[in-house]
Every structure is written in structure tokens, then in C-alpha cells.
């Protein structure tokens, strides 16, 4: 009963979450993408909304329902996601990057479907690096002025703590969250390693929604102390 009268953890906050994979076109019918169901990002958007925040969810191609009350912006490529993220981050107070952004895209996408020529020859694709959306938002004026709290994620196949620590410093984010293996793609549960300036703490295996609620509480704690 008393809890009913307490302000919600993220009341008054504007939270932007990126989620899912990106899709990088090769031609009108093909492309490359990353493995990501978007479930963790969608769970975080839901948990943040339940915690009283105004939430914008920038989603790559996924097949998940939009959490109730959340504004969803659908994007396809990393370049689309970057545009949306930079725009919505301008008015945000928290930016949470869970998306599995393709690190590279084909240098040029063909206007027409590539056809086999019968000789067995294969297309020679050239790639260019995609912009680092999180690093860009985290080095923008709002983040530098302390008005935007940025959170990154890392999916690593090995040496999670070392890679997550290095990634946190490289992207200049106060909080970097590692997915504790084995690979969690598409699963409903996960375990997380929270890495900040103080060190690392583990959120033990649980459903993605429960972990999202715990992460929201951890972010709220840091917002109020910073």
C-alpha cells in the first residue's frame, strides 16, 4: 500500500533504447544482418516504461510486439538507426544501446537483384565500417554536460570482464552491461555483468524482464547519485 505512494524510479526521465539487429542491403532482395531477437532491449523498454519513464524504442527488424505505452521507431540499417538515435537522444536523459548493430555494410547496394551468370562466379562484396552509434551519442554535448546517462551492452564470446571494461572506457559510458554466456540469442533468460567505474557486479540468471527491471533500478540509483 505504501509503495503505491512512492514516486516511480524513472519518473520524469526520457529514455531511448536501441534494440534488435540492423539489416544492411546487398541488393533489393538480400542483405547481411546480426543475430539478435531484440528481446533484451524490448524488456528494458517495458521495464523503463513501467518505472515511469517516457520511452522511445528504436528497433531494427524484429518480430516482437511493442510494449504498451512505448513510442516505437522502426529502422532497418545502421545508418537509419544512427539518424533516429541522434535525433531522439537530443531530448533524452538516458540512452541504452542494446542493438546488435552490423559493424560493416556493403560499400554499395545494387539497385537491381544480382543474378547468377552461370559461370559459378561469386559477387565480390566490399564493406565499409558503420558509425558507432553509442560512441557518438556518448560523446555528444548532452552526455558531456551530464544531462544524458549512457549505457552500453557487450556480447562477447570470451574474456567478458576484460572486453567489457575496455569497451566501457573506449565508448566513454558510465555503465557497460555484458551478456554472460553461453549465447543468449532468442532465449527468454540471461545473466548480466554490470561494469562501471567501481568495478563489476553480476545480476544472476533470470528472465530478461526481471533482469531489465533490476537494470532499471541500477540505472535509477546512478542517476540520483550523479
Report, as residue numbers or ranges, the catalytic residues.
Answer: 34
Residue whose CB is less far from ligand CTP, 16 or 134: 134
> Is residue 182 reached through a cis peptide bond, with omega within 30 degrees of 0 on the bond before it?
yes
Residues within window 81-110 making contact with ligand CTP, judged by CB under 6 A: 97, 99, 101, 103
Residue whose CB is less far from ligand CTP, 94 or 124: 94
Residue 181 CA to its chain's centroid (Å): 17
Residue whose CB is less far from Ca ion, 22 or 190: 22
Q: Is 133 annotated as a binding residue?
A: yes
Residues within window 136-195 making contact with ligand CTP, judged by CB under 6 A: 152-155, 167
Shortest spacing between CB 67 and ligand CTP, in angstroms: 19
The packing angle between helices 208-224 and 39-50, to 10°, is: 50
Residues within window 6-65 making contact with ligand CTP, judged by CB under 6 A: 18
Residue positions counted in the chain? 226
132 part of the interface to ligand CTP, by CB under 6 A: yes
Q: Where are the beta strands (DSSP E) in 68-186?
A: 71-74, 94-97, 104-106, 127-129, 149-155, 175-179
Shortest spacing between CB 24 and ligand CTP, in angstroms: 11
Shortest spacing between CB 27 and Ca ion, in angstroms: 24
Shortest spacing between CB 77 and ligand CTP, in angstroms: 11
SS3 188: coil
Q: Is 27 annotated as a binding residue?
A: no
Using CA atoms, how far apart are residues 15 and 18, in angstroms rounded to an integer?
Answer: 10
Using CA atoms, how far apart are residues 170 and 162, in angstroms rounded to an integer?
Answer: 12
Using CA atoms, how far apart are residues 219 and 203, in angstroms rounded to an integer?
Answer: 13
| Contact present, 141 and 165 (Cβ < 8 Å) | no
Instruction: Please give the residue ranges that form the binding site for ligand CTP (CB under 6 A).
Output: 18, 78, 97, 99, 101, 103, 130-134, 152-155, 167
Q: Which residues make up each annotated binding site?
A: 103, 113, 131-134, 153, 167, 171
Q: Which residues make up each annotated binding site for CTP?
A: 103, 113, 131-134, 153, 167, 171
Amino acid at each position: 500500500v505504501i509503495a503505491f505512494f512512492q514516486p516511480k524510479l524513472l519518473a520524469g526521465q526520457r529514455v531511448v533504447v536501441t534494440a534488435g539487429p540492423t539489416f544492411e542491403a546487398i541488393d533489393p532482395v538480400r542483405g547481411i544482418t546480426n543475430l539478435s531477437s531484440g528481446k533484451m532491449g524490448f524488456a528494458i523498454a517495458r521495464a523503463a516504461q513501467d518505472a515511469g519513464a517516457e520511452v522511445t524504442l528504436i528497433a531494427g527488424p524484429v518480430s516482437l510486439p511493442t510494449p504498451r505505452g512505448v513510442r516505437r521507431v522502426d529502422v532497418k540499417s545502421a545508418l537509419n538507426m544512427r539518424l533516429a538515435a541522434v535525433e531522439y537522444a537530443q531530448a533524452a536523459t538516458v540512452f541504452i544501446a542494446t542493438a546488435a548493430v552490423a559493424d560493416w555494410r556493403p560499400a554499395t547496394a545494387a539497385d537491381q537483384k544480382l543474378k547468377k551468370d552461370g559461370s559459378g562466379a561469386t559477387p565480390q562484396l566490399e564493406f565499409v565500417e558503420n558509425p558507432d552509434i553509442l560512441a557518438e551519442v556518448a560523446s555528444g554535448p548532452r552526455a558531456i554536460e551530464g544531462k544524458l546517462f549512457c549505457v552500453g551492452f557487450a556480447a562477447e564470446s570470451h574474456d567478458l570482464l576484460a572486453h567489457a571494461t575496455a569497451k566501457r572506457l573506449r565508448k566513454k559510458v558510465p555503465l557497460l552491461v555484458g551478456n554472460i554466456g553461453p549465447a543468449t540469442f532468442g532465449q527468454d533468460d540471461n545473466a548480466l555483468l554490470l561494469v562501471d567505474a567501481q568495478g563489476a557486479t553480476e545480476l544472476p540468471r533470470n528472465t530478461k524482464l526481471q533482469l531489465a527491471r533490476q537494470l532499471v533500478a541500477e540505472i535509477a540509483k546512478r542517476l540520483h547519485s550523479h
